[in-house]
Chain A
Amino acid sequence: MASFALTMGGKLLLKSFCNFRSTATLFPFFGLVTPSKMVFQISHQAVLFHTSSRRYSLMEFFDDKKNWGAKEVRSGRSWSKDELRIKSNIDLHKLWFVLYKEKNMLLTMEEECERVIEPFPNPERRYRVEESMTRLQEVIKERDRAVKLLQVGITGEPPSRECYGLTGQRYRYIYQEHLMPYWRNPRHFKRRYTQEKPLGMMRKFILLMQEKKRKERWSAIKKEQAKIHAAANEYPDHPFWLQEEREISQLRLKDVYHTKMSD
């Protein structure tokens, strides 16, 4: 019994998966072809302007001709992180470009459909590809992080530190890469948005901000309580209140309802 195993971000036909050429043959013709010959030779040279084993030239930017003007182009779901984690780095490297090309193709088709004022079928395909690509990057980051921690003791992320901004709010400042040292950089000394302590003049503002956030947190709980009490008044005989051991005032909305109810 075949299980639900459709993958769109895969975009890999068996052939291209196995025959991916590691050395890209990009731009071989710029040195050979003179501008006057470009017009006649472009169809021949364009064949070399690709890195996959399928030779469709620049038409790879467009969808299969069957799908031109189609009302619906079905596709599978995006790659999940667990499915990406079992693949080697080389496979993920290939997959990245396959996804990238698919994304470019979809963007081209969307733009073209807008130009000729036609409906673009199934725009969610692009969001699925983007989802797959972000997950792929996260998986690679996980692996690199683990390797670096074992080998060197660093995570590989840029260094950062806690500091305070001009409003007195605490945040994590991420270090930037510079070509000159800080003692030679005049802009470094002018920078004021990374303070060690909150500025004295922001004292009042910070107190008011904390008060506001405290009130928001408390009022959110009170709003949930109001809804639960209203439900208890409307449905006092419901077996839920008898089953529940806690007091009504201790309950939160997620204990009483399955999702965030509207209103």
Chain B
Amino acid sequence: MIGKKVLRISNIMVRLAVRLLTSARNTYFRNFPQAYIDREMGVKRDPAYKPRTYRNTEHRPWAMQEKNLNHPRNKIPPQKRLVHAPLPEWEIFQGDMVQVLVGKDKGRRGEVVQTVQERNWCFVGGRNLTYEKYAESSGIPAKLISKELPLDVVTEVALLDPVDNEPTKIEWRYTEQGDRVRVSKRTGRIIPIPHLAMETYEYKTKSTYREEPKDTRQKELSEVTYVPTSKTFEEEIMDKMGIVETRKQGGTFWY
């Protein structure tokens, strides 16, 4: 039985390894059913089990690091509660070019690699780095590994205007066609949402999705076959199948 348990655990790790190795963008799994994500995260239905405070990290919500942080044992006291700058609508997406406004890399530009909306975080590629040592044993020298630290989307980072590559504030406006777009306040130029932000586990872009053998094709999907009649579902199916029911249902009592 012990051997089986060990194999079961390794089974779970292999199953999730596919997820862990994939991109860390938070919208990568947006097409997944919520019931499945809740199962993987271990969400319990009863509100008594819901933690009062939940700390999101750069990891997946079903990852060990996030689960350990949000264990019921680790209560976050009121003094350590997070305070975020107001942001009614999310503005910065993965793949955007931004300029860092604080820290060592102040004034430098980079591409947004990951965002965590619950904490107003964004990770800019190659900027705001921290270095960690990995010293395996006394014989092998220590190895430095760099990691990006998060930056606050509202205060520490600014979107770049493609016209002059300078930081700018943005507004959401509508085009003549009716699309909602980001517009730079200074120049009025549209800053399109990058393709990287639209990428998910299923496709890189919607137009390049490769259809699977069990998918219904677009032609059959958009075909309208419904003709409203005064028959219920049951009556229609009975007519189609030639089922004739002349027996009367026995009287039952409802109370």
Q: Is the Cβ of B85 less than 8 Å from the Cβ of A83?
A: no
A90-B240, A124-B32 known; A148+B232 contact, CB < 8 A: yes
B145 interface residue per 8 A CB criterion: no
B83 interface residue per 8 A CB criterion: yes
Pick out which of these stretches binds chain A: B135-143, B187-195, B206-214. Answer: B206-214
Q: Is the Cβ of A7 less than 8 Å from the Cβ of B254?
A: no
Q: Is the Cβ of B55 less than 8 Å from the Cβ of A262?
A: yes
Q: Is the Cβ of A261 less than 8 Å from the Cβ of B82?
A: yes
Which residues of chain B from 87 to 128 have a CB within 8 Å of any chain A CB? 87-90, 117-120
A23 interface residue per 8 A CB criterion: yes
For B225, the chain A residues whose CB sits under 8 A away are 86-88, 91
How far does the Cβ of A94 sit from chain B's closest Cβ, in whole Å? 10
Pick out which of these stretches binds chain B: A34-42, A51-59, A71-79. Answer: A71-79
Q: Is the Cβ of B56 less than 8 Å from the Cβ of A240?
A: no
Name the contact of A119 in the complex, choosing from B15, B222, B231, B252 (C-beta under 8 A).
Answer: B15
Q: Is the Cβ of B237 less than 8 Å from the Cβ of A85?
A: no
Q: Is the Cβ of B252 less than 8 Å from the Cβ of A179?
A: yes
Which residues of chain A from 126 to 142 have a CB within 8 Å of any chain B CB? 127-128, 130-131, 140
B48 interface residue per 8 A CB criterion: no
A256 interface residue per 8 A CB criterion: yes
Q: Mark B50-79, 1 if CB is under 8 A from A, else 0.
A: 000111100000000000000000001000
Name the contact of B53 in the complex, choosing from A22, A93, A143, A262 (C-beta under 8 A).
Answer: A262
**Bound Cα distance from A3 to B215, whole angstroms:** 14
Q: Is the Cβ of A182 less than 8 Å from the Cβ of B255?
A: yes
How far does the Cβ of A125 sit from chain B's closest Cβ, in whole Å? 9
B203 interface residue per 8 A CB criterion: yes
Which of B213, B224, B230, B254 counts the most chain A CB atoms within 10 A? B254
For A150, the chain B residues whose CB sits under 8 A away are 230
A118 interface residue per 8 A CB criterion: yes
How far does the Cβ of A107 sit from chain B's closest Cβ, in whole Å? 14
How far does the Cβ of B182 sit from chain A's closest Cβ, in whole Å? 14
A76-B202, A262-B53 known; A256+B86 contact, CB < 8 A: yes
For A90, the chain B residues whose CB sits under 8 A away are 236-237, 240
Report how many A-B pairs have Cβ atoms within 8 Å: 192
A89 interface residue per 8 A CB criterion: yes
Which residues of chain A from 1 to 15 have a CB within 8 Å of any chain B CB? 1-8, 10-14
**Bound Cα distance from A178 to B222, whole angstroms:** 44
Q: Is the Cβ of A147 less than 8 Å from the Cβ of B231?
A: yes
For B11, the chain A residues whose CB sits under 8 A away are 117-119
**Bound Cα distance from A3 to B241, whole angstroms:** 36
Pick out which of these stretches binds chain B: A25-33, A162-170, A196-204, A228-236. Answer: A228-236
Q: How many residues of B sit at the interface, in one of the four size bands?
A: 35 or more
For A153, the chain B residues whose CB sits under 8 A away are none
**Bound Cα distance from A151 to B83, whole angstroms:** 58
Q: Is the Cβ of A178 less than 8 Å from the Cβ of B118?
A: no
A150-B230, A262-B82 known; A4+B209 contact, CB < 8 A: yes
Name the contact of B33 in the complex, choosing from A10, A12, A119, A128 (C-beta under 8 A).
Answer: A128
For A143, the chain B residues whose CB sits under 8 A away are 232-233
Q: Is the Cβ of B55 less than 8 Å from the Cβ of A263?
A: yes
A250 interface residue per 8 A CB criterion: no
A6-B211, A117-B8 known; A235+B155 contact, CB < 8 A: yes
Q: Is the Cβ of A86 less than 8 Å from the Cβ of B224?
A: yes
Task: Using A72-B18, A147-B231, A179-B253 as known contacts, list a sample of 17 further A-B pairs with CB atoms less than 8 Å apart, ordered by residue number in A.
Answer: A2-B209, A3-B206, A4-B203, A6-B212, A7-B215, A7-B216, A74-B202, A75-B214, A76-B215, A92-B233, A158-B254, A178-B254, A178-B255, A227-B81, A238-B86, A261-B118, A263-B76
What 8 A-B pairs have minimum CB-CB distances, sorted nearest first? A10-B216, A4-B206, A127-B33, A7-B216, A5-B218, A76-B215, A263-B82, A240-B86
Binding site for A on B (CB under 8 A): 4, 7-8, 11, 14-15, 18, 31-33, 35-36, 53-56, 76, 81-90, 117-120, 154-155, 202-203, 206-207, 209, 211-218, 220-227, 230-233, 236-237, 240-242, 252-255
Name 27 interchain pairs, CB-CB below 8 A, sorted by A: A2-B207, A7-B221, A8-B214, A10-B216, A13-B213, A22-B242, A64-B213, A76-B211, A86-B222, A88-B225, A89-B237, A90-B237, A119-B15, A130-B33, A140-B233, A176-B254, A179-B252, A181-B253, A182-B255, A230-B83, A235-B154, A238-B154, A240-B88, A257-B87, A258-B87, A263-B53, A263-B81
